[in-house]
Amino acid sequence: MCFSATASLVAAGALSATGGLTMMRAKTKSELPFASIPLLFGIQQVIEGVVWLSFDIPLLHTVAMYGYMTFSHVLWPIFVPLSIILLETDPFRKKILWLFSLAGSIVGSYLAYYIITDAVTVQIVNHSLAYHSPNLYPLLIITFYLMATCGSCFFSSHRIINLFGIVLSLSFAVAALFFFETFFSVWCFLAAILSILVYWYFRQETKDNEEDRTDSITVGKE
């Protein structure tokens, strides 16, 4: 599998368009965070495109690298479980999801600290980008990260979000097994593409609401 600035920027365009359409389908403020996931992935892919293109421009390259890692390492473990909590209506599931949110906040804070305090580098390895720092990838932190970003999806009462968790977990396994050194870059790229499922969620919600309104009108006429 080959990645490049072009791949990142093409994905960014598609995700930004999808994200815009998804956010238009959100009906309440509580739906907006989850609806914004494809757009946020689009922004992240733009930033990684800049990382690819700026190896000869040190200041821009450093800014883009840290910007990308803020998304990939800090934002997602905090943002994903919180966005799912805001959609959840089942009180018991919501309590469980708060535990995943806590795990995500812990891992996001840990990674933010070491991104700021440790030297971070990025290099091209086998046509992908490898982000390096000595304290970013201990097993416990990766476990917490996976719990927050993927595990939280399994405790949603919405089947499409459960499916999102399944495909995220599968893409995690693919990236870990076949792209170990460039894991975060590859997984984020795959997850970005898979985030189109978020649009599917809102499309299905709109369809269900329209069917409910139709049924209500029919019952009223009877």
Residue 119 CB neighbours (<10 A): 7
Among 22-36, 50-64, 133-147, 199-213, the least confident range: 199-213
Q: What is the pLDDT of residues 155-194, one digit of tens each?
A: 999 999 999 999 999 999 999 899 888 998 999 999 988 8
Tokens of 109: 């804070």
Rounded CA separation 66/94 (Å): 33
Rounded CA separation 99/96 (Å): 5
Position 203 confidence tier, pLDDT thresholds 50, 70, 90:
confident
Per the prediction, the chain carries an average pLDDT of 89
Domain containing 44 — which CATH number?
A: 1.20.1070
Domain that holds residue 181: 5-221
What is the number of structural domains in the chain?
Answer: 1
Rounded CA separation 155/93 (Å): 6
The stretch 115-127 carries a mean pLDDT of 90
Q: CB–CB of 155/165 below 8 Å?
A: no
Position 212 confidence tier, pLDDT thresholds 50, 70, 90:
very low
